[in-house]
Amino acid sequence: MRTTLAFLLALAMASPALASRCPMEMAAIDAALQTAQLGDDDMAKVRELRAKGEELHNAGDHPGSEAALDEAKALLGI
Protein backbone atom coordinates (compact mmCIF):
# COMPACT_ATOMS: atom_id res chain seq x y z
CA MET A 1 0.00 0.00 0.00
CA ARG A 2 2.82 2.38 0.88
CA THR A 3 4.59 1.69 -2.39
CA THR A 4 1.44 2.39 -4.38
CA LEU A 5 0.85 5.63 -2.51
CA ALA A 6 4.46 6.72 -3.06
CA PHE A 7 4.19 5.93 -6.77
CA LEU A 8 0.95 7.90 -7.14
CA LEU A 9 2.42 10.85 -5.27
CA ALA A 10 5.54 10.84 -7.46
CA LEU A 11 3.41 10.63 -10.59
CA ALA A 12 1.22 13.54 -9.48
CA MET A 13 4.27 15.68 -8.79
CA ALA A 14 5.92 14.80 -12.10
CA SER A 15 2.92 15.64 -14.29
CA PRO A 16 3.32 19.44 -14.09
CA ALA A 17 7.01 19.08 -14.87
CA LEU A 18 6.22 17.15 -18.03
CA ALA A 19 3.84 19.88 -19.20
CA SER A 20 6.37 22.66 -18.66
CA ARG A 21 8.11 22.22 -22.01
CA CYS A 22 5.46 24.23 -23.85
CA PRO A 23 6.10 27.58 -22.12
CA MET A 24 9.86 27.17 -22.59
CA GLU A 25 9.38 26.45 -26.28
CA MET A 26 7.08 29.48 -26.68
CA ALA A 27 9.69 31.69 -25.01
CA ALA A 28 12.41 30.36 -27.31
CA ILE A 29 10.23 31.09 -30.35
CA ASP A 30 9.43 34.59 -29.08
CA ALA A 31 13.14 35.29 -28.58
CA ALA A 32 14.06 33.97 -32.04
CA LEU A 33 11.32 36.03 -33.69
CA GLN A 34 13.08 39.21 -32.54
CA THR A 35 15.99 38.60 -34.90
CA ALA A 36 14.52 36.17 -37.43
CA GLN A 37 15.11 36.95 -41.07
CA LEU A 38 12.30 35.06 -42.74
CA GLY A 39 10.07 35.86 -45.66
CA ASP A 40 6.61 37.18 -44.96
CA ASP A 41 4.96 33.80 -45.59
CA ASP A 42 7.32 31.92 -43.28
CA MET A 43 7.04 34.61 -40.60
CA ALA A 44 3.25 34.40 -40.75
CA LYS A 45 3.42 30.60 -40.53
CA VAL A 46 5.71 30.75 -37.47
CA ARG A 47 3.38 33.21 -35.72
CA GLU A 48 0.38 31.02 -36.58
CA LEU A 49 2.07 27.88 -35.24
CA ARG A 50 3.20 29.73 -32.12
CA ALA A 51 -0.37 30.89 -31.43
CA LYS A 52 -1.74 27.42 -32.14
CA GLY A 53 0.82 25.91 -29.75
CA GLU A 54 -0.22 28.28 -26.97
CA GLU A 55 -3.90 27.61 -27.61
CA LEU A 56 -3.38 23.84 -27.48
CA HIS A 57 -1.23 24.16 -24.35
CA ASN A 58 -3.94 26.17 -22.59
CA ALA A 59 -6.50 23.54 -23.63
CA GLY A 60 -4.34 20.80 -22.09
CA ASP A 61 -3.27 19.21 -25.39
CA HIS A 62 0.46 19.20 -24.68
CA PRO A 63 1.47 16.72 -27.41
CA GLY A 64 -0.39 18.82 -29.99
CA SER A 65 1.13 21.98 -28.59
CA GLU A 66 4.64 20.53 -28.74
CA ALA A 67 4.12 19.41 -32.35
CA ALA A 68 3.01 22.90 -33.43
CA LEU A 69 5.82 24.57 -31.51
CA ASP A 70 8.41 22.13 -32.91
CA GLU A 71 7.25 22.97 -36.43
CA ALA A 72 7.60 26.69 -35.69
CA LYS A 73 11.09 26.13 -34.32
CA ALA A 74 12.07 24.19 -37.42
CA LEU A 75 11.02 27.09 -39.62
CA LEU A 76 13.08 29.42 -37.42
CA GLY A 77 16.06 27.08 -37.53
CA ILE A 78 16.25 26.62 -33.76
> Please, are residues 68 and 56 in contact by the beta-carbon 8 Å criterion?
yes
Q: Is the pLDDT of residue 78 over 80?
A: yes
Q: Cβ atoms within 10 A of the Cβ of 50, count?
A: 22
- Residue 3 domain-assigned? no
For 16-68, write each residue's pLDDT tens digit: 555 578 999 999 999 999 999 999 999 999 999 999 999 999 999 999 999 99
- Residue 24 domain-assigned? yes
pTM for the full predicted model: 0.74
- Residue 5 domain-assigned? no
In the chain, the number of structural domains is: 1
Which domain range does residue 63 map to? Answer: 19-76
- Residue 2 domain-assigned? no
> Please, are residues 26 and 48 in contact by the beta-carbon 8 Å criterion?
no
Give CA–CA dist 42/20, Å, rounded.
26
- Residue 31 domain-assigned? yes
- Residue 29 domain-assigned? yes
